[in-house]
């Protein structure tokens, strides 16, 4: 038993959850989330590491709060990261690189790549709104809370994002 797993089932309290338990519960989905927000796999892993590294000790006692905190950290870090990357890739129109998957046919993969490439041409805020809505399946108020904006701003970002996506995907056909 590692020390970080000691807390589980111990007398410290049922609500107390160890970092190891939090990591086990959240890291895979958080990595997927970061992958959708960022442009590359290594960058996504870096975001997840940083989010867990920054997790304050007080959140370890509250797994639900810790989950929200981790998601918000990845969100904020991805925005800063994208802001830096966008300068370097302003004119880059290369499709988003994806790992090969045996389960997916070439046609399906091409279709997904096309959508993902369009997604990555959105502004960071628009992309976040889309990912939180269509992948995290969060209701509007929770998206607003996660992004730190008003519900109206979420609507606006989503609407603009969808308009841009439609235009980009139609233009590519």
Which residues sit at the interface with another protein, rule CB under 8 A? 1-7, 10-13, 18-20, 23, 27-28, 31-33, 35-36, 41, 44-45, 48-50, 52-54, 57-58, 60-61, 96, 98-99, 101, 104, 108-109, 111-112, 115-116, 119, 130-131, 134-135, 162, 165-166, 169
Q: Are 132 and 100 in contact (CB under 8 A)?
A: no
Cβ closer to another protein: 2 or 87?
2
Furthest C-alpha separation in the chain: 61
- In angstroms, what is the minimal distance from the CB of 86 to another protein? 19
Query: C-beta of 45: minimal distance to another protein in Å?
Result: 7
In the complex, minimum distance from the CB of residue 48 to another protein, in angstroms, rounded to a whole number? 7
Cβ closest to another protein, residue 70 vs residue 144 = 70
CA 157 to chain centre: 16
Name the nearest CA neighbour of 36 among 91, 74, 92: 74
Q: CB of 66: closest distance to another protein in angstroms?
A: 11
CA distances 23 to 20, 40, 117, Å, are 5, 21, 30
Give the C-alpha separation, 21 to 36, whole Å: 24
**For another protein, the closer CB: 114 or 142:** 114
140 touches 149 (CB < 8 A) = no
């Amino acid at each position: 038993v590692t020390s970080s797993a000691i807390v589980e089932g111990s007398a410290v309290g049922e609500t107390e959850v160890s970092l190891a338990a939090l990591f086990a519960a959240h890291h895979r989905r958080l990595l997927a989330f970061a992958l959708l927000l960022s442009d590359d796999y290594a960058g996504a892993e870096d975001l997840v590491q940083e989010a867990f590294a920054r997790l304050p000790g007080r959140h370890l006692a509250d797994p639900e709060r810790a989950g929200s905190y981790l998601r918000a950290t990845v969100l904020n870090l991805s925005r800063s990261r994208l802001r830096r990357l966008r300068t370097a890739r302003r004119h880059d129109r290369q499709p988003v690189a994806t790992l090969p998957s045996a389960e997916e046919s070439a046609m399906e993969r091409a279709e997904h790549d096309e959508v993902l490439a369009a997604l990555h041409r959105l502004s960071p805020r628009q992309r976040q709104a889309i990912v939180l809505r269509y992948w995290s399946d969060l209701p509007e108020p929770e998206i607003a809370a996660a992004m730190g904006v008003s519900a109206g701003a979420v609507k606006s970002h989503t609407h603009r994002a969808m308009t841009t996506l439609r235009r980009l995907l139609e233009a590519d056909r």
